[in-house]
Amino acid sequence: MKKVLIVTGGSRGIGHQTSILAAKAGWDVCINYNNNKMRAEQTAEAVRKIGKSAIIQKGDICNESDVINLFQKCESDLGMISGVVNSAGIVEPYCRVDEIKHDEIQRLININITAMMLVARESVKHMSKKHGGGGGSIVFISSAASRIGAPNFCVPYAASKGAVDSFMWGMAQEVAGEGLRVNAVSPGVIDTEIQPEGRVANVGPNLPMGRVGQPEEVAQSIIWLLSDEASYVTGTNIDVTGGR
């Protein structure tokens, strides 16, 4: 059976590695990006070299019409959608709570919470057997920050990922009888460009494993949750934190 996957934020970091590992696992991939078309094309080309189909679709997932178009384009070009990885997100602002600016809060909420819910809604509309879909798997990218709070660094980000955790759990219960599995992966400190300068080098030696994680290590867990090997797994949040 053909497997078609949407990866939001699929042109960089964890999304990029997820797209590549998904192709190796037999998925055709629709790579969503917002600004960097060149990076998205590079990810798509890597997928094609593996022998799977790939398309890129520009879209700001905070924009409802862009999210709708993303799903419609994927389905029309690649076929029935059976997997979605919601990896787009931001961490900023890096600051104490008493330094938060209103516009920074709004941007964080729009990208990490509102957009996440819009993608989830369209996932159900296109994949749920209730709506004529074939079922499938949805994976949210949360964060260990939702558990530890990230004090003196990014408490608002931690709170936004707490919302992801809560939404994932409720959604998993809601659609479990419709052929949809809904899970999350919570990375710890991962060596991607989303990290502030110097953080990887400073934090790594102090972690239980003595190093930060790599994006492909997170992607491996995502691919497992997408796979039939996780056929009885829903409402689960996997920590990929190196013991943190």
Q: Known catalytic residues?
A: 157
**Phi and psi, residue 206, nearest 5°:** -95, 0
Residue type, 177: G
Distance, CA of 203 to CA of 119 (rounded, Å):
32
Residue 200, exposed/middle/buried by CB under 10 A (0-12, 13-18, 19+)? Answer: middle
Distance, CA of 16 to CA of 3 (rounded, Å):
18
Handedness of CA 117, 1, 55, 125 (dihedral sign): negative
* Residues 207/189, Cβ–Cβ less than 8 Å: yes
Two tokens, residue 185: 């992966």
Distance, CA of 134 to CA of 132 (rounded, Å):
7
* Residues 218/19, Cβ–Cβ less than 8 Å: no
